[in-house]
Amino acid sequence: MEFRHEIISFPKKLPIKFFLHRIGNVSRHWHQSLELIVVMKGDVDITVNSLSYRLGAGDLILINSNEVHELHSADATMVALQIKLELLKEVVADVKKMYFDCNTVKADQPELFTNIKRIVAQILQYNINGSEFIDLKNAALIYELIYELCTNFSSDEQKTLRQPKEGLDRLQRILEYVNSHYNEPISLQQVAKQQFLSVPYLSKYFKNKLGLSFSDYLKDLRLYYAVNDLLNESLTIDQIAAKNGFPNPRSFVVAFSEKYGELPSIWRKKHAEEMLGSVETTKEKSVNYYQDEPHSYHEEISRFIESNLIEQQVAPPAKILQRTSSAHQITLNKPGKTLKHYFKTFIGVSRVKEVLYADVQEALRTAQREIGFKYIKMHSLLDDDLMVYSEDAEGKALYNFQLIDKAFDFLLSIGLKPLVQFSFMPAKLASDLSKTVFYVNINTSPPKDLNKWNGLVHALTLHLIKRYGIAEVRSWLFCVWNEPSSSNLLFGFKEDETFFTLYQNTYNTVKRIDPSLQFGGPAAFSTYNKSEDWLFSFLNFCKDQQCLPDFITVHYYDIDLKSTNNYIGIDKQLNLSPVTNSFQQFIDRLQLRLRAIKLDNLPVYMTEWNSTVSHKDLMNDTCFKSAYVIKNILENYDRLNSFGYWLLTDLHEENRLPPQQFHGGLGLFTVNNIKKPAYHAFCFLNRLGDELIAKGDGYFITRKEQQIQILLYNYYHYDDIYANGISISISHQERYSHFPGKAKREFILELMPLAGSFEIRHSFVNRSYGSAFDHSLLLGHDSELSLQDIEYLKQISIPRIEKEFAQAANTLTIQATLEPFEIRLIEVSARHTV
């Protein structure tokens, strides 16, 4: 397994590529490019042709053109720079004769490698925040690197060990055939016949070229693909063995145990966290809810740069913050569009039990007082920590709804109505006690007895009606389960039909009590660049079985599940969306498909959305997130019936809580109820008027009675490096480095016709005002914040307010310059003199 990230792809005129690796095993391969490998952390075992070396942190090696090599490491981070030989044709007469002996493990003069490491450190340093002219610097550094190689490492010593091109052509044909038929019962005899070679010659040829026998290569190849298949929990061990060409399950188990030192079943269980996910149609690995953060290389890269740049080396100068400007004429005397403000239909907390926590109740009271949401989405209504379900000695159901009552009583007291989500599975009803997720071991297996499940749903629904009254409960929403489209190792089941049956039973049970109760679903999970096929297969089932939901619930996270092919296999990981309008793209394709099947009349509630699923993405605490919220809601205002931001507070029980206050949690509040910039974004949205006057890039203008509200934002999208799951320059303190080209933005708005005397009130949030994280940097390490520090941050982390007064004869001109990631609400009111 390998995480392999291309962080620099130079232009065609400069055929160089730069990669970051977190490697496990990279199988034998070769390429015509030179490849310089620098180990930044850990140990790497590398075999080049038939020679093996162990490289540690700080070591480097140059792989020459057409040298067969493989790498193995339990946990290492390295930089790989690939140089295509075409680059050298302009300056070297015969590149085919070039050979470099550059290997710190072999050398007894470590000072020879100083300049090589310096140049690599400079490439990293300059490209972390590259300017528009970075290609010129890259070209200079690459040619300097080649000069160092030619001057100090050019050698004739081991040219004979390299594969001649004609030999590689034959080897490539053989391996392409084997790689295409590895899952079939192929043999050395079959390959020899296909290549018109004798068996003894091919056997010897294979051993000489790759350093291992044909049978060993075939076994390793099959194991490579089998390991990937072990991450697909829907496949049994027997199926994996057959799928990858092993003659029987035993041969697979024996081969796997010899290579990895444990049974495949044990390996699968140990790596279960890697499999948690939600690919809707294939049910294979994708989204890892336990992923802490993008792969952070900050410490390794910073340490490498600092230790390999000489003191006299001047760092790239900080780019001067530029300014852009846009002017807009806004006509006020034309009818506007009525707004419904669906952004505040839903708020969410992770689990029902958390509603009983004093800090969560405080956060909810604050949000209701300052914003005012209508519904709340929560998981785990039926979990054992609420003591809902048990059985007596004869197996008769015992119900206890007291803690549910306490949670619902509180929610109703602050004006919130519940989405009654029947989830997850009480232990006494669970079909698989080992199917649990998250820190608190939520059981997500289907019920072992549907009749008992239906009885529980029936009893709880009747209880709610009796306690709160039929009129009140009819205003609530009901559903069952969460993200059933996800992997069986998360919320989903091995077979989609299992959920379909569970949904149909729960739907019918509720509707038999009162057909007016609103029942919906299925909380289908969607992402950037991902189809909604699972959702529509569910809706087709509901049509056929006459259990169509009264409303549709969906989740959207701005992540990219696209697999990337590379020369050693397929790289799958959690990336972020690389485009700025992916949220809009999701809504476009969802509405298009709903219209196609004539279900666009159903309300669509987005009950979860965010830029990431990670609870430790450091950008979650920053002003990036407030600008992200404003941008996406304003660009898609009221297009769905809710935009349920996930979630209210970092105080939740999915993961073990880190000691840091600002650890990158998804909440609008920190664990200690400090408001983050994203919270202020919702407060600004809540002050918009009910009539839309105009909107455009960076602005949204509304009217309420005689007051005008102008909401501005200066959004920048993270760069492709960060989107690809790599953090090469982010640390706890520095979180804004992955935004190239960010600049101040000036807005000039001419409101007409407008005459009289006006008060113009500016409320804004940027890194200097209203950003708790940025304020916390002045207080030291946030894992050591005192109670006094926390109270100080609560008081100081509020929007700044400024006022100005203006006269207008016909046109009122408003001017505002926003910092990068700033959000600003401008309220224009007529002044009435006495």
Q: Greater confidence, 264 or 584?
A: 584
Q: What sign for the dihedral angle of Cα 212, 214, 216, 217?
A: positive
Q: What sign for the dihedral angle of Cα 22, 25, 29, 30?
A: positive
Mean pLDDT of 512-522: 98
Mean pLDDT of 578-593: 94
DSSP 315: P
Q: What's the one-letter identity of residue 440?
A: V
Q: What pLDDT digit, counting tens, does each position of 377-389 carry?
A: 999 999 999 999 9
So what's the pLDDT on residue 318? Answer: 52
Coil, helix or strand at residue 733: coil
So what's the pLDDT on residue 252? Answer: 92
Distance CA 11, CA 13 (A): 5
- Residue 36 · residue 60 · CB < 8 Å: yes
Tokens 């490698």 sit on residue: 113
Distance CA 751, CA 330 (A): 5
CA distances from 79 to 38, 44, 84, 119, 377 (A): 5, 12, 16, 13, 44
pLDDT class of 284 with cuts at 50, 70, 90: very low
Helix (H) / strand (E) containing 564: strand 564-566
Using the predicted structure, report yes or no on whether residue 564 has a pLDDT greater than 50: no
Closest CA to 717 of 788, 824, 627: 627
Q: What pLDDT digit, counting tens, does each position of 597-629 carry?
A: 999 999 999 999 999 988 888 999 999 999 999
Which range has the worst mean pLDDT, 243-252, 584-593, 722-731? 722-731
Q: What pLDDT digit, counting tens, does each position of 130-167 carry?
A: 666 777 888 888 889 888 988 899 887 544 444 555 55
So what's the pLDDT on residue 177? Answer: 84
Half-sphere exposure of 525 (CA within 13 A, CB side): 25
| Edge-first strand listing for the sheet containing 800-808 | 337-338, 691-696, 699-704, 707-713, 823-830, 756-765, 800-808
Distance CA 122, CA 447 (A): 59
Closest CA to 710 of 325, 324, 326, 330: 330
Distance CA 390, CA 408 (A): 21
Mean pLDDT of 579-587: 94
Q: Which long-range contacts does 451-454 make (Cβ < 8 Å, 24+ apart)?
A: 452/397, 453/429, 453/502, 453/505, 453/506, 454/505, 454/506, 454/509
Closest CA to 763 of 804, 820, 717, 806: 804
Q: Which residues of 360-372 are buried (b: 16+ CB within 10 A; e: fewer)?
A: bbebbebbbeebe
Distance CA 274, CA 574 (A): 11
- Neighbouring CB atoms inside 10 A of 184's CB total 9
Q: What sign for the dihedral angle of Cα 776, 781, 782, 787?
A: negative
Using the predicted structure, report yes or no on whether residue 1 has a pLDDT greater than 60: no
Distance CA 270, CA 248 (A): 24
So what's the pLDDT on residue 291? Answer: 43
Which range has the worst mean pLDDT, 355-359, 556-560, 600-604? 556-560
Tokens of 610: 């965010």
Percentage of the chain lying above the pLDDT 70 cut: 85
Distance CA 347, CA 364 (A): 9
Angle CA(272)–CA(276)–CA(281) in degrees, nearest 5? 125
Distance CA 283, CA 425 (A): 21
So what's the pLDDT on residue 271? Answer: 65
Using the predicted structure, report yes or no on whether residue 126 has a pLDDT greater than 70: yes
Using the predicted structure, report yes or no on whether residue 209 has a pLDDT greater than 50: yes
Q: What is the full DSSP assignment across 99-155?
A: -B--BTTT-S-GGGGHHHHHHHHHHHHHHHT--TTHHHHHHHHHHHHHHHHHHHTB-
Tokens of 658: 């880190």
Tokens of 685: 């949205």
Q: What pLDDT digit, counting tens, does each position of 776-816 carry?
A: 998 977 777 899 999 999 999 999 999 999 999 999 999 99
DSSP 611: S
Mean pLDDT of 490-499: 93
The answer for residues whose C-beta is within 8 angstroms of residue 692's C-beta and 6 or more apart is 336, 337, 338, 339, 637, 700, 701, 702
Which range has the worst mean pLDDT, 26-35, 334-343, 630-639? 26-35
Q: Greater confidence, 659 or 9?
A: 659
pLDDT class of 645 with cuts at 50, 70, 90: very high
Active-site hit among 233, 284, 354, 483: 483
So what's the pLDDT on residue 267? Answer: 81
CA distances from 438 to 27, 84, 149, 212 (A): 34, 46, 51, 43
354 is catalytic: no
Using the predicted structure, report yes or no on whether residue 729 has a pLDDT greater than 90: no
Which range has the worst mean pLDDT, 108-112, 315-319, 549-553? 315-319
Closest CA to 527 of 485, 495, 494, 571: 485
Q: What is the full DSSP assignment across 643-682?
A: EEES-SBS--SSSPPPS-SSS--S-SB-TT-PBPHHHHHH
Mean pLDDT of 578-591: 94
pTM of the model: 0.79
Tell me the range of 10-19, 152-161, 223-232 where mean pLDDT is highest.
223-232
Using the predicted structure, report yes or no on whether residue 665 has a pLDDT greater than 70: yes
Helix (H) / strand (E) containing 375: strand 375-379
Q: What pLDDT digit, counting tens, does each position of 92-114 carry?
A: 656 667 788 999 998 888 888 99
Using the predicted structure, report yes or no on whether residue 400 has a pLDDT greater than 50: yes
pLDDT class of 22 with cuts at 50, 70, 90: low
Give the pairing of strands 375-379 and 346-351: parallel
Give the pairing of strands 744-752 and 323-331: parallel
Mean pLDDT of 701-719: 94
- Residue 632 · residue 667 · CB < 8 Å: no
The answer for residues whose C-beta is within 8 angstroms of residue 728's C-beta and 6 or more apart is 7, 20, 124, 128, 297, 298, 301, 721
Q: Greater confidence, 511 or 188?
A: 511
The answer for residues whose C-beta is within 8 angstroms of residue 50's C-beta and 6 or more apart is 161, 211
Which range has the worst mean pLDDT, 72-76, 182-186, 457-461, 539-543? 72-76
pLDDT class of 283 with cuts at 50, 70, 90: very low
So what's the pLDDT on residue 196? Answer: 86
Distance CA 253, CA 247 (A): 11
Mean pLDDT of 397-407: 98
Omega before residue 522 within 30° of 0, cis: yes
Domains and their CATH numbers in the chain:
2-161 (2.60.120.10), 165-270 (1.10.10.60)
CA distances from 751 to 269, 600, 706 (A): 63, 37, 13
So what's the pLDDT on residue 730? Answer: 72
Terminal C-alpha separation, the chain? 76
Which range has the worst mean pLDDT, 54-63, 120-129, 356-365, 764-773? 120-129
Distance CA 592, CA 532 (A): 11
